[in-house]
Amino acid sequence: MGVLKGFFAKHGWRYLPGMLFLIMNAALDVIPARLLGDAVDLMRESVIDQRAVLDKLCLMVAAAVGIFITRAIWRSFINGNARRMEMWLRKTLFTHLQTLGMDFFNHQKTGDLMAYAINDINAIRMTFGPAVALASTSLFTGVFSIIQMSAGIDGRLALFCLLPIPFLLVLILKLGTITRVRFRKVQEAFADVSDRVQENISGIRVIKAYAQEGPEVERFESLNRNMLDTNVSMVRVSSAMSPMVAFIFGISFTISLIYGSHLVRTGVITLGDFVAFNGYLTLIVSPVQAVARVTNILQRGLASLKRYAAVLRTQPMVVDAARNLHKGPLGGAIDVRNLTFHYPDGGDAALSDVSFSLKPGKTLGILGHTGSGKTTLCNLLLKLYNPARGMVAFDGVDLHDISLDTLRDGIGYVPQDNFLFSSTVAENIRFYAPDATMKDIEEAARQADIYDSIMEFPQGFKTEVGERGMTLSGGQKQRISIARALVKHPKVLILDDALSAVDAKTELNIWQELDGVFAKGASGIIVAHRVSALMHCDEILVLERGRVIERGTHEQLMALGGQYARTARKQENAEVGKDE
């Protein structure tokens, strides 16, 4: 319940008027049965008082109107507040997910997170909306009915008819516990199916390229079958509740018919009392049935609330820890001293004793095989993970003394995956700079050498790129990603293998434009596998297993004859082979 404290502090008061009108509604619910019984007794008189009967009927209509009005009001307050809770929970979860670091998302399935945001939140809403309402109205309607049955008609008849009810409640609670366990399995199955669908949609090109449609359908069918089995397993339990209620109340009505008719014949109660009694007994059926439903909803809601709270308890590893944070704009100078880093899940060091200095207007190139630590270095500069204090500084200020907003606002980052949103070209470029004008967007597109290609699209900058940019080529996605970083006019530009999908001519064009960006004082870190993308850099580091094994300019490294030179010659020979 701790996760809902903020919601109840702001919106909890709405439950109070809702409960007040709910109690009024329950009190009105029992009135028609008594009025009907009185009307029956009046009509059994030798001389029927039509005016008195008509009065009873008018009172029944008035009670029905009151029931309608009070029920509409309490539903508006209680169920409406549950919808506010649903919105609040979803916003709270989404906001919290934005604060969590890459370590969390590296170990979470997309399907699980979707289940939290949809199924679990809906189950919690049902618990604090319909379940609260059903439980409350069942309680008060049941209490008022039993009071009328016992005090207003006959206590012994009420006792005999209600004797089977406690046994029914015990069975319902037992089935509710089983339902909770099986509902958790249903949630897990839903997450697996959602995750598989999301992965297949995202990777549809790979699936089709390798003709894996059939095997993927078979894998999905296995998950789909598991989801069916878990749902059917839960339905087997929940479907037993209603027949159980009907059977037990069948016994109660049989007792009422046998013993009640005896009391009528002996004159202990009137026929009208007997009719009213059965009306009250009928009113109790719904509350007891509601106990079954409420138990089911409650068990689901508690399981979902537990899962939801577990996510909110996850604390981000990367936070603004210092009190007096530097919030001024970045100037572009970077100092890395003896940077050593291990990922949270252990293993060998991803980086060991890496050092370099980068002044505004200068560029640093980084070359290395896959797994050499290039992307890790970029992630640490962005503070997606926490390096040790004293190892990374911007403009002479330790990384941990700079606010995350200041740090990331000053860096233009182009990651390896070139993720694009399902929106227009313009909106994707504007992502880092929401206030960017169309002129800014077009200028960034020219700098990334993508402007001409965009203008060839059917709708130019208004062209929809599809999910994850599926309608674009790899080179187009890379250049739009570069434009997205440039439009914010960053003081530090980090390109993580962002030129791998463009040809040599386009690469040269982009470098010519970037020279103008760096000439204005921005510093650049260029990560690449191709030497041609690094040869213009002021300094180049060669990484191997997280260590710097070579450093210098392109000319110096070629003269050294080490890994950089071997890589350059190998790539040059490959290009010559292509030309031939």
Please give the backbone phi and psi of residue 298, each rounded to the nearest 5 degrees, phi first. -65, -45
Closest CA to 549 of 537, 536, 562: 562
CB-based contacts of 156: which residues, under 8 Å, 6+ apart? none
Do the Cβ atoms of 366 and 541 come closer than 8 Å?
yes
Q: List per-residue pLDDT tens for the chain, 580 residues long.
A: 567 888 888 888 888 999 999 999 988 888 888 878 778 767 766 666 778 878 878 888 898 899 899 989 989 999 888 899 888 888 888 888 888 877 777 677 776 777 778 878 888 888 888 888 888 888 888 888 888 888 778 888 888 888 888 887 788 777 777 776 787 788 788 878 877 887 787 677 678 776 778 888 888 888 888 888 888 888 877 777 777 777 887 888 888 888 888 888 888 888 888 788 888 888 887 777 777 678 778 877 887 888 888 888 877 777 776 666 767 778 888 999 999 998 877 677 889 999 999 998 899 999 988 888 888 898 888 888 888 888 999 988 888 888 888 888 888 888 887 778 888 888 888 887 888 888 888 888 888 888 888 888 888 888 888 777 777 888 888 888 888 888 888 888 888 888 777 777 888 888 888 888 888 888 889 988 888 888 888 999 999 988 999 999 999 999 998 898 998 888 887 665 555 4
Quote the DSSP letter at residue 469.
Answer: G
Q: What is the pLDDT of residue 577?
A: 53
Domains of the chain: 81-313 (1.20.1560.10), 328-410+493-580 (3.40.50.300), 417-489 (3.40.50.300)
> Given its phi and psi angles, is residue 418 left (phi above 0), alpha (psi -120 to 50 degrees) or beta?
left
**Nearest-angstrom CA–CA distance, 349 and 29:** 71
55-63, long-range: CB < 8 A, 24+ apart: 59/31, 59/35, 60/31, 60/32, 60/35, 60/36, 63/28, 63/31, 63/32, 63/35
Phi-psi region of 569 (alpha: psi -120 to 50; beta: other; left: phi over 0): alpha
Alpha carbon distance 260, 255 (integer Å): 7
Contact at 8 Å (CB) between 546 and 351?
yes
Tell me which residue of 365, 330, 354 sits closest to 524, measured CA to CA: 365
Enter the tokens of residue 332: 């572009």
Q: In what order do the strands lie in the sheet with 363-368?
A: 411-414, 492-496, 523-528, 363-368, 539-544, 547-552
As given in the structure block, the two tokens for residue 82 are: 């549950």
Q: What is the DSSP string of 550-574?
A: EEE-HHHHHHHTSHHHHHHHHHHHH
- Name the pTM for this structure: 0.68
Q: Please return the burial class of 549, using the count of CB atoms within 10 Å of its CB with bins 0-12, 13-18 and 19+.
A: middle
Task: Spell out the SS3 assignment of 375-425.
Answer: HHHHHHHCCCCCCCCCCEEECCEEHHHECHHHHHHCEEEECCCCCCCCCEH
What pLDDT does residue 151 have?
79
Please give the Cα distance from 480 to 450 (Å, whole number): 7
Extract long-range pairs of 257-265: CB within 8 Å, 24+ residues apart: 259/157, 259/160, 259/161, 260/157, 263/154, 263/157
Tokens of 520: 């204005």
Instruction: Supply the angle between the helices 50-99 and 31-43 in degrees, to the nearest 10.
Output: 160
